Amino acid sequence: MKNISQSDFKKEVVQKKGTVGVIVQTEWCEPCKHLNPVIEKLEEEYKGRDLSFVSVDLDSNPSFTSYYRIAGLPTVIFFKDGSMKGLYMGVKTVKEFREIITGIIEGKKKEGPKTVKVFSTPTCPYCHMVKAYLDQKNISYEDIDVSQDREAATEMVQKSGQMGVPQLWIDNEVVVGYDTARIDQLIGQ
């Protein structure tokens, strides 16, 4: 997998035809090291097809964090014909990436959830991270500030048995905390 700099990003990703997976990682990130064999297997599997992968070192290119609102590592951003098609955080399996890639290449998108409620407080950093994550995925949600809405706070605790935030209700399924794997599973990405 080719490592690119921010100056090469436009040529290698934005102006390139086909599908490109951009692996955003750092040398010191342990989960990133677990993702690399998965990507190597996908590169071999899709060799000669309409898919390539490049790597961006976040330490050398820190502006990626703010521009793409990256909240965790590793992150894989897929582009098709220069347009961003999806952002996925955390280590996924080869099977999960195959489904994502197939959807992007064929232009199919899984149907998202009907309703998403985020129970949060203004001072909770993980609440801000989970909302940024949903924004990156273009998932609309209702933000409920439980520090101001005591009735909603009581309902949240009754349903989940948990007082901690963030909490998400995705089509009536409860996710407590910043659990991107579970969020992805429930929103169909």
Q: Which residues touch 22 (CB under 8 Å, ≥6 apart)?
A: 13, 53, 54, 55, 56, 76, 77, 78, 79
Q: Which residues touch 128 (CB under 8 Å, ≥6 apart)?
A: 120
Pairing between strand 75-80 and 19-25?
antiparallel
DSSP at 137: T
| Cα distance between residue 29 and residue 144, in whole Å | 33
| Cα–Cα distance list, 157 to 119, 154, 162, 163 (Å) | 10, 5, 5, 6
| Cα distance between residue 12 and residue 107, in whole Å | 21
**Vertex 139: Cα angle to 72 and 83 (nearest 5):** 75
Q: Which of 29, 84, 139, 152 is catalytic?
A: 29
Is 124 one of the annotated active-site residues of the chain?
no
Q: Which of 13, 23, 32, 91 is catalytic?
A: 32
Question: Active-site positions?
Answer: 29, 32
